[in-house]
Amino acid sequence: MNRLVYITGASSGIGQALALQYYREGWNLALVARRVDDLSAWAEQQGLAPSRWRVYRADVSDIDAITAIGRRCIAEQGLPDVVIANAGISIGMDTAIHEDLAVMQRVYATNNIGLAATFHPFVGLMRERRSGTLVGIASVAGIRGLPGHGAYCSSKAAVFSYCESLRGECRPDGVKVVTIAPGYVDTPLTRENRYSMPFLMQPEDFARKAYAAIEAGARVRFIPWQMGVVARVMRLLPGAVFDRLLAGRPRKHRQGER
């Protein structure tokens, strides 16, 4: 029997690249997205065997919807071996603008509550089985706050802490929790950025490295490794030095800005 991977945010970017990587490694796919027609068309274009993939429609920020889809996946395909909570959004905000508080709420609902809701249907059953891997997609941006990026940076900082907490809870029962922290990957999420993006990766290169890290059961893995070095340096920088380095850096654009 092929192993089963469950991936949210699978209709584009790194989610789609991860889906293809897992398929090529012989896994069956349970793919979750809002744009299921696009995702199904992509799978057919790639020539994926129909018996090895299913697509489910859900918005991870809708707790009832995403937990129901998890239960449906278990009923139709069985309990996954790996669950990747990949769905996420990145929107700039300005705290001085009232409507941007709703932007922050939306980012948290997707990147944090949506991540926990994605895991929810599987955690208890994986513990009972005493095997399985839960993967949270964080970001190097979660290490320090960046101008205009308060919602995204803080949401990804929370992913690190949440996954660390969950790892401690699940370890005694044989369930692994892996945190993957991408640097800059060439996806629709990053193409509108107005600042330089060092060590920019192609999605397929990221997916190969992420697959290897998940298979190895890494606790936390920065991809590419160079961004791991950057992250360690950023952690160690005194606040005053970090503030000077950011002086003049373009802020993340707000929704609708260019």
Catalytic residues: 152
DSSP E strand stretches across 15-120: 28-33, 53-57, 82-85
Q: Are 131 and 79 in contact (CB under 8 A)?
A: no
Which H helix or E strand runs over 181? strand 176-182
Residues 6+ apart with CB under 8 A from 18: 5, 7, 10, 84, 86, 207, 210, 211
* CA gap 94, 112 in Å, rounded: 20
Secondary structure (H, E, C), 196-246: CCCCCECHHHHHHHHHHHHHCCCCEEEECHHHHHHHHHHHHCCHHHHHHHH
Task: Report which DSSP code applies to 140.
Answer: G
Q: Name beta bridge partners: 83.
A: 6, 134
- With 0-12 / 13-18 / 19 or more C-beta atoms within 10 angstroms meaning exposed / middle / buried, residue 124 is exposed
Torsion angles phi and psi, residue 34, rounded to 5: -80, -35
Q: Name beta bridge partners: 181.
A: 222
